[in-house]
């Protein structure tokens, strides 16, 4: 088959896979952002109990392979009567995973702000959590945008692992088309091209966001 035939043949399925991929990515990144903030604040500003719980959870997730986590959710939980569809298992798995990583990025960002900002906020009579909300987070979240961009791109690519538990994302579709037509090289090349172009678009969108939120003097250097 010619390349054009391959494109015509596989695009509809690849694109329907892509919507699932994008859905999983956006879902996991957003849920991960929310719980990442919670975990990070627990680890940095929480009491002993919250600190222990957050750090334990973060280390557990970061210390085990993504695939093992997915298998536990999809193949392990049914042992206890909890049956998840592949998509739900993947959504939960990626969200939890991303939360742990995002918590650590944010923690690094908070640490780079320095203690003076907190002291100054307390000195005008703010309570600790008020200072976190009004002074620390607005700065830390801005600084974490580059790391968050990377996280988003990682996620986009990592969601391809969900094909292993049978979630109908783009990689699963690619595998299906490729093996049915015996066109492994061309189909996977095409798939790679789709991933790449999405990564480009994302990078562009995030660098635009970063510029819009930029405040004079608050330059983000890491990337």
Partner 1 sequence: MIQVVLKIEDLKKNYGKAEILKGISLEVKKGETKVIIGPSGTGKSTLLACVNRLVEPDHGRVLLEGEEITSRNAHKMRQKIGYVFQDFNLFNHLTALDNVRIGLIKVQKLSKEEATQIALEQLSKVGLSEKASLYPSQLSGGQKQRVAIARALAMRPKLMLFDEPTSALDPELIGEVLSVMIDLARSGMTMLVVTHELGFARTVADEIIFMENGLIVEQGPPALIFSNPQKDRTRQFLRKLTELYGEERIK
Q: Taking contact as CB under 8 A, which single stretch among the options 17-25, 90-98, 155-163, 211-219 is the one that binds partner 1?
A: 211-219
Shortest Å, Cβ 54 to partner 1: 24
Q: Which long-range contacts link 34-39 to residues 24+ away (Cβ below 8 Å)?
A: 34/99, 35/95, 35/96, 35/99, 35/103, 36/98, 36/99, 36/100, 36/101, 36/102, 36/103, 36/105, 36/106, 37/102, 37/103, 37/106, 37/137, 39/99, 39/100, 39/103
Build a one-symbol-per-residue string for 111-150: x at contacts with partner 1 by CB under 8 A, - elsewhere.
-----xx-xxxxxxxxx--x---xx--xx--x--------
**Closest to partner 1 by CB, 79 or 215:** 215
- Whether residue 121 contacts residue 138, with contact meaning beta carbons closer than 8 Å, is answered with no
Is 223 among the residues that bind partner 1 (CB under 8 A)?
A: no
Shortest Å, Cβ 4 to partner 1: 52
Task: Count residues near partner 1 (CB under 8 A).
Answer: 21
Contacts of 91 (CB under 8 A, 6+ apart): 24, 27, 28
**Closest to partner 1 by CB, 79 or 219:** 219
**Closest to partner 1 by CB, 79 or 124:** 124
d(CA 62, CA 57): 9
Shortest Å, Cβ 32 to partner 1: 24
* Positions in the binding site for partner 1 (CB under 8 A): 116-117, 119-127, 130, 134-135, 138-139, 142, 215-218
């Amino acid at each position: 088959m010619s390349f054009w035939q391959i494109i015509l043949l596989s695009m509809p399925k690849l694109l329907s896979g892509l919507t699932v991929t994008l859905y999983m990515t956006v879902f996991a990144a957003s849920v991960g952002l929310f719980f990442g903030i919670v975990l990070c604040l627990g680890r940095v500003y929480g009491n002993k109990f919250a600190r222990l719980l957050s750090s334990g959870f973060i280390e557990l997730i970061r210390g085990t392979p993504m695939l093992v986590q997915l298998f536990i959710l999809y193949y392990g939980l049914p042992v206890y009567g909890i049956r998840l569809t592949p998509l739900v298992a993947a959504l939960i798995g990626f969200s939890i995973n991303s939360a742990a990583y995002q918590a650590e990025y944010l923690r690094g960002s908070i640490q780079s702000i320095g203690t003076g900002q907190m002291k100054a906020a307390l000195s005008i009579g703010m309570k600790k959590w008020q200072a976190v909300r009004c002074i620390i987070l607005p700065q830390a979240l801005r600084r974490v945008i580059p790391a968050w961009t990377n996280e988003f791109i990682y996620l986009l690519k990592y969601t391809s692992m969900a094909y292993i538990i049978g979630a109908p994302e783009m990689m699963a579709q690619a595998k299906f088309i490729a093996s049915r037509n015996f066109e492994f090289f061309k189909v996977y090349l095409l798939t790679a091209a789709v991933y790449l172009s999405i990564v480009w678009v994302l990078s562009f969108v995030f660098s635009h966001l970063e510029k819009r939120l930029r405040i004079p003097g608050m330059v983000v250097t890491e990337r």
